[in-house]
């Protein structure tokens, strides 16, 4: 049996202070370089965004008035407005919310609280995560085949209902994921306390877990609707009109929305229509900011209540 020299073991195990200090200084230098790169990227993004916002405001504010909001689109820029696009967007968002919220929240609750760990449940979870990253144009092609052609007797073909169902499919994965994350944030001790008092799983979820998760669910849902309000490609794919001078009468009526109206004006060669497009962008941005502010308000309100 061989023995080792204690001095040799001490030399091998004792760290070199100079080498340690050199490695530490090297890491600090890399951290500084990375921090400078990150702040530079953020500054560039903010400058570009500010330049775009200033350009849109300079071009759009002079033509943004009550006539722009109350007039229908016209071939003459001085008479053109986006009344039909605003009302079409309102119809669209209300219909999308009515369809997507109960289905998305219900699916999230079932997968998180009731579904067992089976291969079928794991398959559904994988598909939901994959669908969250699918390009929106694919949903437009799906809506064209299913809602416009196959379900034409119900939806009316290229109608507002077809567009709403297509956008509902687009945001359903986002709502489901947001619902599951909000439910996971609720402590398990609350569930165990309910079970200890004799409550069923449904009673625990309905009376205790869901109210606490509701702020996060509403926030995720409104943010998903904020994504849907700016989508153009799926609606163009299913046949949304770029020029419409009347208001929708029902869910089977032809329709247009604000992003499509802005796209129509930008594609025209006259500079006057480009200014109208900038005004439409301002209206769309205000709508998005209002929806996000409403999400923050609901979250804070329900957090204070529960």
Looking at residue 200, what is its pLDDT?
Answer: 84
pLDDT grade, residue 47 (50/70/90)? very high
Per-residue pLDDT, averaged over 100-111, amounts to 90
Confidence of residue 9 (pLDDT cuts 50, 70, 90): very low
Q: Model-level pTM?
A: 0.80
Write down the pLDDT at residue 45: 93
Position 112 pLDDT exceeds 50: yes
CA distance 65 to 275: 13
pLDDT tens for residues 22-37?
Answer: 677 778 888 889 999 9
Instruction: Using the predicted structure, report yes or no on whether residue 1 has a pLDDT greater than 50.
Output: no
State the pLDDT confidence band at 13, using cuts at 50, 70 and 90: low
Helices 210-229 and 271-305, interaxial angle, to 10°?
180
Both tokens assigned to 46: 């903010």
pLDDT(60) > 70: yes
For 59-63, what is the mean pLDDT? Answer: 85
Residue by residue, DSSP assigns 128-192 as: HHHHTTS-HHHHHHHHIIIIIIITHHHH-SSSHHHHHHHHHHHHHHHHHHHHHHHHHTS-HHHHH
pLDDT at 283 over 70: yes
Mean local confidence (pLDDT), 220-243: 83
Is the pLDDT at 101 greater than 80? The verdict is yes
Say which CATH topology domain 74-305 has. Answer: MetI-like fold (1.10.3720)
Q: At residue 222, does pLDDT exceed 70?
A: yes
| pLDDT for position 36 | 92
Please report, for the chain, the start and end positions of each structural domain, with discontinuous segments joined by +: 6-63, 74-305
pLDDT, mean of residues 110-130 = 83
Give percent above pLDDT 70 in the chain: 92
- Evaluate if residue 255 carries a pLDDT over 50: yes
CB 158 within 8 A of CB 143: no
pLDDT for position 21: 67
């Amino acid at each position: 049996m061989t023995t080792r020299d204690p001095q040799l073991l001490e030399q091998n195990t004792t760290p070199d202070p100079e080498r340690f200090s050199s490695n530490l200084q090297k890491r600090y230098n890399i951290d500084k370089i990375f921090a400078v790169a990150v702040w530079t990227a953020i500054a560039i993004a903010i400058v570009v965004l500010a330049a775009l916002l200033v350009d849109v405001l300079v071009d759009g504010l002079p033509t943004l008035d009550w006539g722009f909001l109350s007039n229908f689109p016209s071939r003459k820029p001085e008479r053109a407005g986006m009344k039909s696009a605003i009302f079409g967007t309102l119809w669209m968002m209300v219909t999308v919310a009515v369809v997507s919220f109960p289905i998305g929240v219900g699916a999230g609750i079932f997968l998180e609280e009731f579904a067992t760990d089976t291969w079928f449940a794991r398959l559904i979870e994988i598909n939901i995560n994959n669908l969250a990253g699918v390009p929106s144009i694919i949903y437009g092609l799906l809506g064209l085949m299913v809602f416009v052609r196959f379900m034409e007797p119900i939806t009316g073909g290229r109608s507002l209902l077809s567009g709403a169902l297509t956008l509902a499919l687009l945001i359903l994965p986002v709502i489901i994921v947001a619902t599951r994350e909000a439910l996971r944030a609720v402590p398990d001790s609350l569930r165990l306390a309910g079970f200890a008092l004799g409550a069923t799983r449904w009673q625990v979820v309905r009376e205790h877990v869901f109210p606490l998760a509701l702020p996060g669910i509403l926030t995720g849902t409104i943010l998903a609707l904020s994504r849907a309000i700016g989508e153009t490609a799926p609606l163009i794919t299913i046949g949304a009109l770029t020029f419409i001078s009347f208001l929708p009468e029902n869910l089977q009526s032809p329709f247009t929305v604000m992003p499509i109206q802005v796209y129509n004006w930008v594609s025209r060669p006259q500079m006057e229509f480009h200014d109208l497009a900038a005004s439409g962008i301002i209206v769309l941005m205000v709508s998005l900011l209002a929806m996000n502010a409403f999400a923050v308000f609901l979250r804070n309100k329900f957090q204070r209540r529960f």
